[in-house]
Amino acid sequence: MSSCPKFEQLNELVDGACDTSVRRHFDRCPACKREVRRLLAVKVAVGMADAGVFSSPALRRALVARLRR
Amino acid sequence: MLYDEFAEIALGYLNQVCAAARRLTREPADADDLVQETYHLAFEHYGELRNLAHCRAWLYRILHHRAASRLRRRRCAPQLLSIDGENGDESLPPAHFDAELIERIALREIRSIIDALPVELRTAVTLCDVDGFSYAEIAEILECPLGTVRSRIARARAKLMVKLQAHAEECGIRRMSA
């Protein structure tokens, strides 16, 4: 089996941005699968930790008023 | 492209743009100002947007551009960001990071750990993981090379692994099965 890809390449795999050779290696390598699981856990945590922020009604009103000008 | 059509789509992204502005400024009032400035510019220059499908990324690009300008003005410095160790080896993850511990850390703690990341890393990783932009879109929004985006996201996640593991150890958080 080819040598393991760099951390940065596995990181790209988590985001669906890696090349096919990395993907092929990943399919057969338990160590890389473990690393990708760790990266996925961090990715999910970042996505979930961001509290929903909603625009204030005043801001929306101001922008809509600007639109009508 | 019709102005009304553009305006309707652009306003549909208002909550997301507000959330991104809040992450950049950390101050609700500053974030609202930044969003107003972003939308005013977008309304004035909407004709420059060639494809309405790229509206969200275009709005984010304006937002980040304005945020950078504001920061430059405040710091009176030529550079927006001090990139510490951009090409260093700090993107190496910790060997003993236990992903299962993350589930046992409170979201607000995770949020404050993310907030403590250097701004360039935090911005890249949240554009990817929160807003769901591709690496290419992030490169366009931040006006930087694709390789820089790759490196920043990898470094952000490696740093988060280190901080989350340290936090879990400090707080005595253990696996359920341990």
Looking at CATH, the fold of the domain delimited by B3-75 is given as Rna Polymerase Sigma Factor; Chain: A (1.10.1740)
Residue A58 pLDDT level (bands cut at 50, 70, 90):
confident
> In chain A, what are the domain boundaries?
7-68
Comma-separated ranges of CATH 1.10.10.10 domains in chain B: 99-170
B9-18 burial by CB neighbour count: b if 16+ within 10 A, else e? bbbebbebbb
Residue B91 pLDDT level (bands cut at 50, 70, 90):
low
Specify the pLDDT at position B2.
82
Q: What share of chain A is helix, strand, coil (3-state, %, to 5)?
A: 70, 0, 30
Test B102 with A47 for CB contact under 8 angstroms.
Answer: no
Residue B76 pLDDT level (bands cut at 50, 70, 90):
low
Report whether pLDDT(A48) > 70: yes
Report whether pLDDT(A69) > 70: no
Looking at CATH, the fold of the domain delimited by B99-170 is given as Arc Repressor Mutant, subunit A (1.10.10)
Q: What is the pLDDT of residues B2-59, one digit of tens each?
A: 888 898 899 999 999 999 998 888 888 899 999 999 999 999 999 999 899 999 999 9
The answer, for B146 touching chain A at a CB cutoff of 8 Å, is no
B-chain residues near A48 (CB < 8 A): 107, 110
Q: What is the pLDDT of residues B144-162, one digit of tens each?
A: 999 999 999 999 999 999 9
Q: Structure pTM?
A: 0.84
Comma-separated ranges of CATH 1.10.1740.10 domains in chain B: 3-75
Q: Count of A–B CB contacts within 8 Å?
A: 110
The answer, for B42 touching chain A at a CB cutoff of 8 Å, is no
Q: What is the ipTM of this complex?
A: 0.83
Per the CB < 8 A criterion, the answer to whether B1 and B47 are in contact is: yes
Q: How far is CA B118 from CA B43, B115, B122, B129, B160, in A?
A: 32, 8, 6, 16, 11
Specify the pLDDT at position B84.
47
Non-local (6+) Cβ contacts of B21 within 8 A are B30, B31, B32, B34, B35, B38, B63, B67
